[in-house]
Structure 1
Amino acid sequence: MKRLHVFAMLIMACFWVLSGYVQAQEAVGTGSIGDHVWYDANHDGIQDPAETTGIEGVSVTLYSSSNPTVAVKETATDAQGRYEFQGLADGTYKVKFAKEGYSYSNPSAQESETDTYGMSNDVSLMGGRQERGVNGGFYRTRYIHSVIGNLVWNDLNKNGVQDLGEPGLPDIKVKLYRLKMIYRTADIQNLEDYDRCFDFVAATRTDVNGNYAFGGLCPGVYFVAIEVPDGWAVSPMFQGTSDEKDSDILPRIQHSGWISMPEGREGLSVDAGLFQIQACDLVTIGDMVFFDTNHNGIMDCDEKGIGGVVIKLYDCTVIPLDGADFTSLNRRHCCGYKVAETVTDLTGHYEFDGQLPGEYCVEVCLPDGFRLVPRPNCPDVCNPVPETNMTGCMMFNACTKNMDIDFAICSDNKLATVGDLVWKDSYYDGIQEKNEAVMKGLTVKISTCDGMTIGQTVTDANGKYSFANLMPYTWAHYVISVAAPAGYEGTYYGEDGGANNSDLVYQALYTNCLTLASGTNNDIDLGLHYNSALVASIGNFVWRDDDADGIQDPREPGIAGITLKLYECSCTCKCPTLIGDIRNEVEEFYCQDWECGSTLVATTTTDADGHYSFSDIVPPAEGKRYCVQIVVPSNYVLSPYHRGCYDENSDFYPDTKSTRCLWLEPGYQLDFIDAGLIPSIPNPGMVGDFVWNDANQNGIQDNGEKGICGVTVELHACDGGATVATTRTDENGRYLFSNVPTNTTYYVKFVLPAQYEFTTQNSGNDDGLDSDPCPEKGITSNFTLASGQATMLIDAGMYLASCSVSNYVWNDVNKDGIKDANEAGIAGVTVELFNCSSNSSVASVKTDNNGLYTFNNILVDSYYLKVSVPAGYVLGQSAMGSDDGVKADFTLEGQSTCFEVTKGAASTGKPIALIESTSGVDGMGGTPTTFALSQNYPNPFNPTTTIKFAIAAPGMYTVKVYNLLGQEVATLFNGEMNVGYHSVVFDASKLTSGMYIYRLTGNNVMITKKMMLNK
């Protein structure tokens, strides 16, 4: 029986071994293994200085390395995350860590001894070794999430406590921020640290009852911020005895202190009381910074305020930390945290307006070399500490204005003055030229580099401006800007770097940040250049729509004197666009419907032809909508909207008398916005008929004499001479005034074209065929228009005015370019007359026996002459005399300058001086005896111009073009050149507008001139 019992025990032992339930025999020794498990916030397997939190309750199991499936010992980490296995025999072990909801850190890192499954490397214990380096880094993968939230309410009595009857505020935006992983709460030392240490998490809006909540939050450190609506303020913080009823938001910075949020915390209450601001809820703080020359701390009559001094206002309220319980306080930055910053104006005054009541201190920022002077009879709290330049904390009660916080400054250094000139840079090179105009009456402003305005002035009659008594900071502090007329921008920064260059940023209206030294800095010049691409325009035509069809017909004239107004458009229907995260928070709106707004931009009237224009409109770069309204006279109604072709119809709605809203961007030119007006006259009359070319000048319309197109005709009322209507003759010379008010006396005025004269008035016996205006004034006799009457007999005859062009070609014996009495004319020389506008030949003649050339029946216009120089002669030089009738005025190629042939004037041609070629030439013909470089022609030019020059000795020569930086932009000639007169053509089609220099060089000669490319 005993043998059977032993056998059964052996079988049972085998079963236990095979089943894995036999626990290893625990050997007894003196060795130990232990240390800690920590929260690895950044998952890198390294315990960073900020990672001090141990993890409690981690399961720790000890295994023999030879049998890692059978536990030797088990334990769990304590509240600090520490563990220890004692009494271990010599051997090699492994440690495994595990906790639900956590994952193991990077196993390749040095300080986390676990693999991806939480098992450590082998740990060898020999001779009773005490191993304290088996650590585990873990991070959380599953949380019991927390909630932050509660109420934003209307604190009607402004006491910071939620009282009965005070309602919640709906639709208030609330934001949540969380401490970044790389920071600890100890890093939050002042207000600026909030921006640096926290990340935005989420935003929401309060519901209809003023409640809000942020759920699903992981453990961490947070703060809550409130977007306070305009006209509202935050109530006092931590008032009353109940944390559930007070306001937890700092009034001036509008967010809470930091909140330590543990795992699974529900319903943490962060409330905000808001109230509507009244005038007496606020305080004003400020006054003066002055230069105390006698160091007595008092501003005497001859002492000046200092402009541009930076003043900072600090709130002495401490910032609460650990907002979960709000039990601790943050250290303060100097005397508090900064709530506002300003700068003294040109008189030294400063002001912080609209501040909430409370304790504040003020700091003045001074450069090296400037120091504070104590003020007499001032409590210590208002005298700034010299080491910090800050006052003490002072209480400011509601509805007060304390304008007695003064700072007396002394120094061995002088204050700064800055200024100089604003000018129009016509050459667009950034350099002041003598003939460039100054710009008077422009507002110039000086500000700090971060945009705080110090003051402004206006340029005087010489374009000068100046700012005096400024603080000479040793760093870049000031910016100067100019309010330029529409379309102007900053020119190039002057390359000479001297006192005559422009200091504006290119294409801007402000300078770079300036450092002003002590004393006078009168070299900050502001050059402005007009750029049409910066502005836009709207305009075109208002016409009389006689047939009321809404379409511009050829015989329908423009209407003068009609008033039009330009308005900005406004949006009448804003539709929401949902953006952001899953909360579908309404952040932006887009405009669906636009209408003419009430913001008037400009007013204009139509000219004599019915045209109008709103020019130099400056829309923002992203564009804006505008509309035009027309003031319709009482005797007109608007034509139908948008009939016929796009550019010949009426663009104004008859009911609103305005256009649709028109999109404008810089550079846009909307020159097709027209308006048709239909006369609303009972039984109107008509006036009209014919303007013709009276070729034989007899004052009668003969067969074959044609009408003249485009002559302006005006209908005037005799009572005051007001212009009733204006029109132009059509292609047949006909004109018509329809819808003319009747029972009124009128006269008609014809505007004489430039080349015409009026013919004889009232010739012959037929009133339907004669000319009715008097030649001297172009107006007819008065006539009365009866009801429904048509007066169609008002005609005007005109003829082309002609003149003669003549002068002499002579042998200029003394080569002075002036015809002397003893110098004979030259017969048989061909002279040709050209029209300057068309460059076409008008006529060609030869000189008579006296050298006289004559062109008869020449119409009024602009002309030039060309002479064919006969053999044996060369063209003489142009004279410098004052009598144009006797001096020569021709180019090297025998072409004169343009001259005008005018009506009624004794027009004379250009005298032409010729020199016998055998006589030794030193003029403009033959062989030049001196080097010369002519002014290019035309100048300004676009894109080509001709450059002429004279070479007096053979040799190697170059003709080159340079920009104002001295950089070569073109070589026009480079090689050998013989004696004579030469020319080259410069093509600047690939260059930008501006001033250029051209230079003739060679044979110890260098001649330079300027030319202007104007695209």
Structure 2
Amino acid sequence: MRTILAAGVLAFALAPSASAAPFNLGNFVWHDANTNGIRDAGEPGVPGVTVQLVTADRKQILAQATTNASGGYSVAGEGPGAFRLRVLPPPGWQITRMDFGADDTEDSDVHPYGPDFRYTEPLAVAPNLISNTSLDVGLVQPTTTAPVGNLVWNDADGDGVQDGGEPGIAGVQVELWDAPKTTRLAVTTTSLLGIYAFDAPAPGLVRVRVIPPAGMEHTPKGAGEAATGSDVWAYGPDRSFSDPFHLGVCCGTTAIDAGLVQPVSPVQVGNRVWLDADADGIQDAGEAGVAGVVVELWDAARTQRLDTDVTDANGVYAVTGAVPGGFRLRVVAPGGHQYAPADAGGDDTVDSDVDGTSADAGWSHPFFLGSNVISVTNRDAGLVLPAALANVGNQLWLDLDYDGVREAGETSVQGATVELWDASMRELVDTDVTDANGVYWVEALVPGAYRVRVPLAADSGIAFTRKDAGADDLVDSDLHPWGAEHGFSAVIRLGSNVISSSSHDAGLLPQAVPEPAALGAIAALLALCCAGRRARG
């Protein structure tokens, strides 16, 4: 493996030059009086609203403006690059629904909730863009109230559907929240019949949150028909919350129900952990079980470990829970092992059910078992033991025309750090520094699953170009330019027969476009700022 003795990251900023490409983004912030997400005739602008231009990764504010008396705004920047707009509503205002209707010039373009709350989607600004005046934002100001409610019931069979004879549950705490889950608006408890009700501020977007009593948990969301199903998430980031729903000026909703269950009957979950010699995610004849692997049973929300077992000499395990209820399995891979691909092929009895390529590495997907289930024996996990080395690489370059394609004459990036990570983005495997041609090589054990990463400093003034542009994977950029996987490639799967994989490139985009005469100076600056020395260990 290579050991980096000294290496920098792309922590430089290019000064604007005569060839920088100025642009303007804008248009209008308006009062969406009827809350339909569309700017209708007669709906006025909202003055005094702050609108900011930020980098696509949301780490740096580049410029800002305030809407004028008519609600108009314009922010200026320098491209090419990837950017977002951020809107800060005045106190008492909410953002209306996003991308409603078919006309992008009349809708609202900002997320009203979620991880991108108050932001637009990333905007790719090409060198030839002068202005984009289709970026509007609708705001809503609650002025009245609307009814919200309905039922929390005992879902005795855990199927997520209100069946005859399943009673309401009294005394359950129910809360009303705004859509982004930043403010709790009201609290109540269910009646003797399991009914709850709020007078919610309207118009606007809100959520309901249901707090399960001790010993109870949520049943599956979205089972059966809308009128009889549970509307509250049983796991994930929105656990115990409903999806956001819209309240108009005329009416509310009395259809937000929640099923709760108290597990009472034992259930056994199992089957086998095996060594997937060919890393195809399928149990083939002759592939042996792996002994001594820890397997854990958790609730679906991963808040409580319910049981633990260790695989026997044949790789078999069994853990016990209580039904009805929701669960996840966790398989703890022994040192040196990786997870095989999950859900390969069409036969669930011979595939691997444990994820290995994300933040959920080692976990199964949530699964729900009803009160009539005694045993489940198709939860398997494939492990891979890498045994040979393969090279992964190719090239970093400056994508001066921001088309996402490496073309003749575009400058290579020397002295940039490139990292190889495991597929779950948890473990750094190898590191290299690009040479004078922008080329890098990192080494990976095969079979296995990996990702390439190029780390960029937050104040570098550098962004990644668009990913997977064009039809030729040999000359495009393969790193995510924004989002949770910013700077990482997609998962790269290497079989045991792979010696080299050399199509993993990255296009970098300076915030200012340099003149051709400055390209040599930029390359020298890159080498100066990001120089690294490497030695083979």
Q: Tell me, yes or no, whether TM beats 0.5.
A: no
More strand by share: 1
Taking structure 1 as the reference length, what is the TM-score of the superposition? 0.21
Which structure has the larger Rg? 1
Taking structure 2 as the reference length, what is the TM-score of the superposition? 0.34
Q: Relative CO higher for 1 or 2, CA cutoff 8 Å, sep ≥ 6? A: 2
